Structure 1
Amino acid sequence: MPLGALRSTPLVEQATDRLRQQIVGQEWPVGTKLPGENALAQALGVGRSTVREALRALAGAGLVQARQGAGVFVISTTPEENWSTQLRRAAVADVYEVRMLMEVEAAQLAARRRTAADLTAIEAALAGRRSVGSGSTAEFVDADIALHAAVVAAAHNPVLTALFTEFVPALRQGLIGLVDLLGLRSHDPQHGDTGHAALVAAIIGGDPEAAAHSVREELNRTLAQLQAT
């Protein structure tokens, strides 16, 4: 399949996609040395810098590898999924198990490190969760996640915050399905309020062990329900 000149912007994305097609379609099998940057640039109708960025993207996807003094070679015809894609495809129970590892530690750190501003945000998030009342499942889940996000933020660990943020889309989708499937709010619109209140109280009181216990108990209950479905 000839490469062919590309259309207008975004050129890097187009170049990456065109080269990926060649590799995934096995026009260039594993072990193939790719044409040089000049040849690729001429075939695609772009500059060498665009080709260079495209090759970096392909390397990041695990498709090619640059070998010093030898060139760029195809090392796989199956792109690696990025972290966000893997999370979207993961079972909700698997996501929850990892979430528990993160949030138990986050709760302990939050109890130690929380500032006055953090406490204000956490209390407001708890009030927001309670205010949803008879709102939709999506509104309830969003308010619940907002409270947990406020706790994670109070841990003041940017890596932990970034990890939690990555989990949120998969977590939200799974929780909406779980709440509806099990009818968790049919008899109690404020499902889980007692546990969340205990978590907030522990963080306000600066009690790391109580904070960890509260979030562990809450997440364990939900995980048990997930595994039973």
Structure 2
Amino acid sequence: MAQVRREPLADQAAALLLERIRAGEWALGEKLPGETTLAPQLGVGRSTVREAIRRLAGRGVLASRQGAGVFVIALDAPEDWDAVLRKAGIVAVIEARIAIETEAAALAAARRTPSDLRSIRRALADRDVHRSDIDSHVDADTAFHRAVVAASHNAVLLDLFDSFTPRLRAAMIEMLRIRRAFGDDADHDAHAAQVDAIVDRDEGAAAARSRAHLLTLRDALV
């Protein structure tokens, strides 16, 4: 029986349990052995087994049922979101941005508050003064787009955007280095037009301008 040998123990224990589930040791809907059985098999303590089970439950593989035990509810786990983002190419990242930000822009136009507008305008002005250095331009651009997503008042969209940010930053820096041109007046005007649509509560225009801007980025690469 394979045992855990490296840190972090809970991650290793979860990986070994998932490996055994994939191998068919427990069928769909079957109850796992108790912690006192699994712990010596994996070479870890009971608390580590509990944490490993929590991690697999979070990935939709296991479910704890109070008073009944832990059951297999899926025979595999989807790839970790962070790993998916790390592998994603620039075009895939921009297409995902289109899905998130187009809807967020429409919602921002419908729901924005005076405080939201101040944040968006401040971010637009900051973006305007960071046109010469790629890294600072990408950071200012990301802050602008986050301000728009935040104005949607949709916590799920904002969580998606925030989880996306590290890969987004790397992809955008890579893209701008390939293009070698960024931050021109047309680019700034496109962002300003999106702000105008949000100010005017024009949901259709806000969404269309967000989508058009991001499609321009994508089309420059394909």
TM-score, structure 1 normalization: 0.78
Displacement after TM superposition at 1:131 (Å): 1.2
Match for residue 137 of structure 1?
134
Displacement after TM superposition at 1:181 (Å): 0.6
Question: What is the CA deviation profile of residues 3-48 of structure 1, one whole-angstrom value per residue up to 9, with x for unaligned ones?
Answer: 37x89xx8xx414414624764x7x87122576421333453523x
What RMSD in Å do the two structures reach over aligned CA positions?
Answer: 3.2
| 1:28-43 mapped onto 2 (5 Å cutoff) | 30-33=23-26, 36-42=34-40
5+ long unaligned stretches in structure 1: none
Distance change (3 Å), C-alpha of 1:163 and 1:18: closer
Question: What is the CA deviation profile of residues 81-122 of structure 1, one whole-angstrom value per residue up to 9, with x for unaligned ones?
Answer: 211211221122122222212211111111111101000000
Rounded Cα–Cα distance in structure 1 between residues aligned with 2:218 and 2:61: 36
**Contact 2:93–2:171, Cα closer than 8 Å, also in 1:** no
5+ long unaligned stretches in structure 2: 27-31
Displacement after TM superposition at 1:52 (Å): 2.3
Distance change (3 Å), C-alpha of 1:166 and 1:191: farther
Mark the structure with the bigger radius of gyration: 1
Aligned length: 215
Q: Is 1:195 aligned with 2:206?
A: no
For residue 163 of structure 2, the aligned residue among 161, 166, 169 is 166
Displacement after TM superposition at 1:61 (Å): 4.9
Match for residue 122 of structure 1?
120
**112-121 vs 28-37, greater mean Cα deviation:** 28-37
Rounded Cα–Cα distance in structure 1 between residues aligned with 2:109 and 2:62: 46
| 1:1-12 mapped onto 2 (5 Å cutoff) | 3=3
Question: What is the CA deviation profile of residues 113-165 of structure 1, one whole-angstrom value per residue up to 9, with x for unaligned ones?
Answer: 1101000000000000011132x201101111111110111111111111111
**Contact 1:37–1:52, Cα closer than 8 Å, also in 2:** yes
Displacement after TM superposition at 1:189 (Å): 4.8
**51-60 vs 195-204, greater mean Cα deviation:** 51-60
Distance change (3 Å), C-alpha of 1:114 and 1:92: same
Rounded Cα–Cα distance in structure 1 between residues aligned with 2:118 and 2:18: 53
Q: Is 1:156 aligned with 2:153?
A: yes
Q: SS at the partner of 1:226?
A: coil
**14-23 vs 105-114, greater mean Cα deviation:** 14-23
Distance change (3 Å), C-alpha of 1:72 and 1:113: closer
**Contact 1:107–1:212, Cα closer than 8 Å, also in 2:** yes
State the AA in 1 paired with 2:25.
T
Displacement after TM superposition at 1:174 (Å): 1.0
Rounded Cα–Cα distance in structure 1 between residues aligned with 2:143 and 2:69: 51
Q: Is 1:96 aligned with 2:94?
A: yes
Match for residue 206 of structure 1?
201
**108-117 vs 90-99, greater mean Cα deviation:** 90-99
